[in-house]
Amino acid sequence: MPIDFNPHIMHMTPAQINVNKDYRMRQNTDVFTKNINSEINNIDNKFDGIRISERPFGKIQKTSEQSKLYTITNRNGASVDLSTFGATIVGIKIKDKNGNLKDVTQGYNNVTPYETSPVGHAGGTIGPCANKISNGEFELNGKTYILEKNKDNGKTHSHGGSEGFDVRNWTAKILPDGIEFSYNKKDMESGYPGNVSAKVTYKFDNDNNLHIIYDAETDNDTVLNLTNHTYFNLDGAENTQENSIYDHIVKLPNSSRYTKNNDISVPTGEILPVKGTPLDFSTSKRIGDVIDSDFDQLKIASGFDQNYVIDNYDGKSLIEIADVKSSKTGINLKVSTDLPGFQFYSSNHLGKNTQPKGKDGLKYEKRSAFCIEPQFFPNAVNTKEFEIKPILKSGEHYHKEIVYSFSISN
């Protein structure tokens, strides 16, 4: 169900923009003011006419800060909703084959569920290190760092722990073509070394491409592996019932190998071919036709929760890694990245009784969404077989990108 937006900021680019101007609109009893400073030179035509609005998203209980929700709307009427809390994707609304807007992402109506009842890091910016670190520790420059063991009954550290990037309130800057979120992680926050200056920039263009650009620097060598954890259902996120992604058609065109997991879904270091296994999506397959196959990796995870190795990775090129289609809505999602791997997850662990209700007023059930999470390999910092390490050194610049591209197919 779409969120009802009453924006008090409207930002239009490039010709319609007014810079250095206060925009005010009375909303209930509060007056909200925003000063916009933007550079409008050399805007790509793909972003011409993009509108950006802002509204309150609720009070953060822990810090008493006010979270904000930004909406980027393109000329097609498609939009992306972004929260300062966690630099989170709250909603993506795309027109289906009948011209009706469909929200294709799971999420919540205000900040409170994201803070008090976090479920699966929905839509959040994951960091400092995405995925698992075995035994909740790693060694860097001869020193051992001990992290919170928040997963697998205290056996692993996962997704930055309970105080990771997705539960921090980021600072937002409005750009002519998107939103830039920034967060400064302090040295040893969440157990990771280094004062890290991190930025996540979202740009949504008129071709329905959502660009997610990560930049970071550190004053001390550290581990950094950033991704996004959006839960997608291309039939529409109102389809919350169990197994509601079974009719999605998936192709993973540049992933001929995967990293084998142990019994708690931590890679063993082995890299194996997908050929001949249910993990092989080199040709298009319906999720429901393969998810319950008799295969150890699927049994360990109760479905898909696998890191795929991206073919021809060079650290620079954007490579298409996923092509997912809904025959019901005609909505097609393609995912590209310059990261070396990605997690394909079928939301096997949703449906817990403690979950809050979603945007549609219903609980998100098991296998009601899928995630494509580009990343460095899980536990790469501890796995000698994985040569590519998620280590950001002092003086270096971290720069990675994910692109979600939406279209309509017949």
Q: Does domain 9-408 have CATH number 2.70.98.10?
A: yes
Q: Which of 54, 115, 238, 373 is catalytic?
A: 373
pLDDT at 44: 77
Residue 407 pLDDT class (50, 70, 90 cuts): very high
Residues 6+ apart with CB under 8 A from 321: 252, 253, 254, 255, 308, 310, 335, 336, 337, 342, 372, 374
- Reply yes or no on whether 11 is catalytic: no
Over the chain, what is the mean pLDDT?
90
- Three-class SS string for 345-384? ECCCCCCCCCCCCCCCCCCCCCCCCEEEEEECCCCHHHCC
Residue 36 pLDDT class (50, 70, 90 cuts): very low
Q: What are phi and psi of 380, to 5 degrees?
A: -60, -30
Residue 343 pLDDT > 80, yes or no?
yes
pLDDT at 43: 64
Q: What are phi and psi of 2, to 5 degrees?
A: -60, 145
The gap from C-alpha 73 to its chain's centroid, in whole angstroms, comes to 19
Which is more confidently placed, 394 or 43?
394
Residues 6+ apart with CB under 8 A from 264: 152, 155, 156, 300
108 close to 122: Cβ distance less than 8 angstroms: yes
Query: What's the distance, Cα to Cα, between the start and end of the chain in Å?
Result: 24
Q: Which of 157, 159, 229, 248 is catalytic?
A: 229
Which is more confidently placed, 97 or 42?
97
Residue 259 pLDDT > 80, yes or no?
yes
371 close to 104: Cβ distance less than 8 angstroms: no
| Burial (Cβ within 10 Å: 0-12, 13-18, ≥19) of residue 24 | exposed
| DSSP labels, 28-62 | TTEEEEEEE----TT--GGGTT-EEEEEEEEE-TT
pLDDT at 177: 86
346-367 burial string, b = 16+ CB within 10 Å, else e? Answer: bbeebbeeeeeebbbeebbbbb
| Burial (Cβ within 10 Å: 0-12, 13-18, ≥19) of residue 221 | middle
The β-bridge partners of 223 are 391
pLDDT at 41: 52
pLDDT at 10: 41
CA distance 158 to 379: 10
- List pLDDT tens digits, range 262-318: 999 999 999 999 999 999 999 999 999 999 999 999 999 999 999 999 999 999 999
- Joined together, the tokens standing for residue 48 give 């011409």
- List pLDDT tens digits, range 367-394: 999 999 999 999 999 999 999 999 999 9
- Reply yes or no on whether 373 is catalytic: yes
Share of the chain above pLDDT 70, in %: 90
Q: How many CB atoms neighbour CB 370 within 10 A?
A: 23
Region 68-73: mean pLDDT is: 98
Residue 25 pLDDT > 50, yes or no?
no
> Cα Rg for the chain, rounded, in angstroms?
20
pLDDT at 250: 98
Q: 91-95, 109-113, 174-178, 182-186: which has the minimum mean pLDDT?
A: 174-178
92 close to 210: Cβ distance less than 8 angstroms: yes
Q: 20-34, 152-166, 257-271, 348-362: which has the minimum mean pLDDT?
A: 20-34
pLDDT at 409: 86
Residue 360 pLDDT > 90, yes or no?
no
Q: 15-29, 88-102, 245-259, 376-390: which has the minimum mean pLDDT?
A: 15-29
CA distance 277 to 325: 21
pLDDT at 6: 30
CA distance 271 to 258: 6
Share of the chain above pLDDT 90, in %: 85
The gap from C-alpha 65 to its chain's centroid, in whole angstroms, comes to 23
Residue 27 pLDDT class (50, 70, 90 cuts): very low
- List pLDDT tens digits, range 107-161: 999 999 999 987 789 999 999 999 999 999 999 999 999 999 999 999 999 999 9
pLDDT at 176: 86
Q: What are phi and psi of 107, to 5 degrees?
A: 175, -165
